[in-house]
Amino acid sequence: MSYSDGTRVVHAGLPEAAVGDPFLPGPVFAAPYHLDPADGQTGDNGYGRPDNPTRRRLEGAIGELEGGRALTFASGQAAITALLLSTLRTGDTVALPSDGYFTVRSFAESTLRDLGVRTVLVPTAGPYPDFTGVRLVLLETPANPGLDVCDIAEVAATAHAAGALVAVDNTTATPLGQTPLALGADVVVASGTKALTGHSDVLLGYVAATDAELLGKIETWRKHTGAIPGAFDAWLAHRSIATLDLRLARQTGNAAAVAELLAGREDVSGVRWPGLPSDPSYAVASKQMRRIPGIVSFDLGDAQRVARFLTAASLVFAATSFGGVHTTADRRAQWGDDTSPGFVRLSCGIEDTVDLLADLTAALDQA
């Protein structure tokens, strides 16, 4: 039976019901597992690094939502570097979003360059180059922090025709916002630290794909490097996924109201939210995405005004992560992002919309 999103996230990765067993198993920590005393053979679990039942349950849940098999990592950066290092070799070329997560570009310009991998930077909104000779095309849509959107199916078809693999960073959208594997991508990578788990209390990353050989390479890399999430983090993440649909519904609703408010103010410029009919990405996002994330970006002109705005706000915390239940804002230029000094990425939480709008209005008026 095909269920709706709210039902899917509540039941994703749960074990078969058994009398006396809990709905969601607790964390199995890094204790040794019993071996067969006769021949030393293992059951499902042999050693804590590659084998952990709590982590497998989480991977089962994420895999159900993404439409493939999932591997979890200690962070989103661990997941994306595992993908890059397990698929790229000396002499290869990788296409990366020029407006995506800046640490990925930094990794490419240092570690990958030193390994002899060439990087091509491409804006998320295009235009896209000829992918002939490119080994891997990484898309991030909506892009963080500028929120441009690209047509995954269209780019994937072009890249595949040139012989390239296609990966999509699905951090901002989450698997309830879009499913890149169903749109033609070969692999999905994401930070589960953000909206997927949504409580700002766990670090997590994952890779998902349907290609067993590709996943096997990535899994071997994870086994050798040890970039795994802890069992307790995996348990926290699985527990949190159950409320994903509810959290996203409020965050998206808040973002729609906030974007409309900001777009109507003369003292705010550059408002971006792909759900606004006036947004440059609206047409593609409306066709491709099942829901728009709770992230809004805008410009307050300079760093001092951003600081006054954040000081005046009571419900908006200055923080550099996003996707949590509390509304946060980040001036991205302070971290080296190629954004203007007054650019703000606002991550809407699950506060009541009327309270959030009132707080934002008062803070902007004071700033």
Please tell me whether residues 111 and 76 are part of one structural domain: yes
pLDDT tens digit sequence for 218-277: 999 999 999 999 999 999 999 999 999 999 999 999 999 999 999 999 999 999 999 999
In sequence order, the 6+-apart residues with CB closer than 8 A to the CB of 249 are 291
Active site residue 135: no
d(C-alpha 252, C-alpha 283), whole Å: 17
Q: What is the pLDDT of residue 31?
A: 72
pLDDT tens-digit profile of 160-201? Answer: 999 999 999 999 999 999 999 999 999 999 999 999 999 999
Query: ∠192-194-195 over CA atoms, to 5°?
Result: 95
The residue from 169, 186, 279, 299 that is catalytic is 169
Considering only CA atoms, which of 144, 158, 128 is closest in space to residue 189? 144
Query: Which residue is catalytic, options 194, 331, 332, 345?
Result: 194
Establish whether 69 is a catalytic residue. no
315-330 confidence digits (pLDDT tens) = 999 999 999 999 999 9
Number of domains in the chain: 2
Same-domain check for residues 188 and 276: no
- Contact (CB, 8 A) for 122 and 316: no
Amino acid type, 20: G
Average pLDDT for 21-43: 77
How confident is the model over 277-295, as a mean pLDDT? Answer: 97
Asked if residue 112 has pLDDT above 90, the reply is yes
Edge-to-edge strand list for the sheet holding 136-140: 69-73, 205-209, 187-191, 165-169, 136-140, 93-97, 118-122
Closest by CA to 23, choosing from 38, 31, 12, is: 12
Supply the pLDDT for residue 132.
98
Residue 286 pLDDT: 97
**How confident is the model at residue 26, as a pLDDT?**
79
Residue after which a domain boundary falls, among 187, 209, 241 = 241
- Pairing mode of beta strands 136-140, 165-169: parallel
Are 132 and 226 in the same domain? yes
Q: What is the pLDDT of residue 116?
A: 98
Phi, then psi, of 14 in degrees rounded to 5 = -75, 145
Same structural domain, 229 and 257: no
Same domain, 258 and 157: no
Sign of CA dihedral 288, 242, 253, 303: negative
Handedness of CA 38, 43, 48, 51 (dihedral sign): positive
pLDDT of residue 359: 98
Do 27 and 143 lie in one domain? The reply is: yes
pLDDT at site 42: 74
The rounded percent of the chain whose pLDDT value lies above 90 is 86
* Three-state SS sequence of 14-29: CCCCCCCCCCCCCCCC
Q: In the prediction, which pLDDT does 122 show?
A: 98
Which of 8, 101, 291, 305 is catalytic? The answer is 101
The answer to whether 337 is a known catalytic residue is no
Percent over 70 (pLDDT), the chain: 100
Catalytic residue among 5, 33, 49, 223: 49
SS3 266: coil
pLDDT recorded at residue 349 = 98
Residues 134 and 85 placed together within one structural domain of the fold: yes
81 and 70 Cβ atoms separated by less than 8 Å: no
Flag whether pLDDT at 49 surpasses 90: no
Let me know whether 262 and 338 are in one domain. Answer: yes
- Contact status, residue 306 vs residue 342, Cβ threshold 8 Å: yes
Which CATH number characterizes residue 303's domain?
3.90.1150.10
* Average model confidence (pLDDT) across the chain: 95
pLDDT (mean) for 296-305 = 97
Mark whether 25 and 89 lie in a shared domain. Answer: yes
Domain that holds residue 331: 245-366
- Mean pLDDT, range 58-77, rounded to an integer: 98
Determine the pLDDT at residue 50. 86
Name the residue among 307, 269, 237 with its Cα closest to residue 59. 237
Q: pLDDT (tens digit, 9 = 90+) per residue, 126-147? A: 999 999 999 999 999 999 999 9
pLDDT bin (cut points 50, 70, 90) of residue 44 is confident
Mean pLDDT of 31-56: 82
Check whether residue 220 and residue 344 sit in a common domain.
no
> Any idea what the CATH number is for the domain that residue 207 is in?
3.40.640.10
- For the cut 90, the answer to whether the pLDDT of residue 82 exceeds it is yes
Active site residue 223: no
pLDDT at 106 over 90: yes
**Domain end (from 191, 218, 241):** 241
pLDDT band per the 50, 70, 90 thresholds, residue 39: confident
| In a shared domain, residues 335 and 235 | no
Is the domain of 281 the same as that of 198?
no
DSSP states of 79-95: HHHHHHHHH--TT-EEE
The residue from 177, 207, 241 where one domain ends is: 241
